[in-house]
Amino acid sequence: MGILCHLTSLPNGKITDSYKFLEFLGQNGYSKWQFLPLTPPDKHSSPYASPSAFAGHYGICSTSEVGDLSEESYWLDDWALFTTIEQHYPGKNWTQWPEELRDRDPASLAKWREKIEPEIIRQGVFQNEWLEMKNISNQMGIELIGDLPIFISHHSADVWAHPELFQLDDDGLPTVVAGVPPDYFSESGQKWNTVLYNWEEHEKSNWRWWRERMARMLRLFDIVRIDHFRGFHSAWAVPREAKDGIIGVWQDGPKDKIIRQLMDVAGNEERIIAEDLGIIPQEVLDLRLKFNLRGMAILQFGFDEDFAKSPHHPDNINSMQVVYTGTHDNNTTLGWWQSTNRMTKANVLAMTGETSDIVGSMIDLAKNCDSPLCIIPLQDILRLDSSGRMNVPGVEQGNWQWQFQWDDLKL
């Protein structure tokens, strides 16, 4: 059994807080700790639109000892250059930088390379703090689950350094951006403003960017959740100027080709969780199962009108799914219960019976499903209402702020 709690939700939001939280996990029999992405967040504090697919978020560090970065050469120099230059052009996209920097003129970059040592040190501090904590966690028998967003921000070191790997126009701007069509998360769909891949170029490069990315994740975590796994099968391409995700087209992804590469790096299907939520065609599920990858089931989705057929209903959850009461994108279970309709409540109570602790009953359902692993958001362990929600999809402001206090864990 595991807990979903982002690092920034700890009382001080620092890696050094982790040791006290690990004690709580160990004392209560939890064997997994799942995080949101630990790359630098965007201006809205979202960890899902980072300016780097590789770098660590220095804001969660609090020491000064530097760790070994010898395995990080693929991305480190580009990230250090990008963030150093960015500080001199605040608020500007990299496409608005002076031409010689925008186009990565070698002579110009050589001058900036003399200024990047502070960022190299910051990444070394992150590396040291994080891997020290991971080592202690593993010694306690607790595995860390990381989160790999399939898409990345246009204003990122990766797109600046490897523009050929993304769908950009002659000015370096995205021709289309990623999102999802309308579903039960959002009636107007979602427009994420993250860039889509030029898969042909990835294949020409022998998938190096993706292989390096997965290897980096597996150095930091024991297990990796691939967010929006269906993007490897097909991606919803939204016009850059669109207001939401309603208008778009499906673009084919590389399917087996990319997954074989990631599996080769991982070496074991147990190290990957494929997030397959939303309206998912059978072809995507078949692709996941072809590689023996576990998907996800969310109990909050399992009791609506068509619950008998829902893959999220406790009776239908199987051994190839990891079960959650909810995720960072859902309301808390108590908040969901307080706002859901009578029919859904009746369907839940038909399984749980009348109860004074509906959240506890939902947690029990998750624990007793035919699933190898259940993961519970800490907000549900703490029985919090909507005030503890982490994120409302499609809303830019006010998310990613929730923190608990140590006294809250005295259950």
Let me know: does 302 contact 353? Beta carbons within 8 Å.
no
Instruction: Copy the structure tokens of residue 37.
Output: 């992405």
Let me know: does 326 contact 389? Beta carbons within 8 Å.
no
Exposure b/e, 206-237, CB count within 10 A at least 16 = b: ebebbbbbbebbbebbbbbbbbbbbbbbbbbb
CA–CA distance, 128 with 138 (Å, rounded to integer): 15
Q: Which residues pair with 234 in a beta bridge?
A: 252
| Three-state DSSP class for residue 179 | strand
Amino acid at 190: Q
Which sequence positions are flagged as catalytic? 227, 275, 329
CA 176 to chain centre: 21
DSSP string covering 248-299: -EEEE--THHHHHHHHHHH-SGGGEEE---SS--HHHHHHHHHTT-BEEEEG
E strand or H helix at 122: helix 117-139
Let me know: does 295 contact 285? Beta carbons within 8 Å.
yes
**CA dist list (Å): 101 to 15, 97, 157, 198:** 34, 6, 12, 23
CA–CA distance, 44 with 336 (Å, rounded to integer): 24
Residue 183 backbone dihedrals phi, psi, to 5 degrees: -150, -165
DSSP string covering 205-240: TTTHHHHHHHHHHHHH-SEEEEETGGGGTEEEEEET
- CA nearest neighbour of 123 among 81, 156, 153: 81
CA 188 to chain centre: 22
Please state, as a whole number, how many other Cβ atoms lie within 10 Å of the Cβ of residue 283: 12
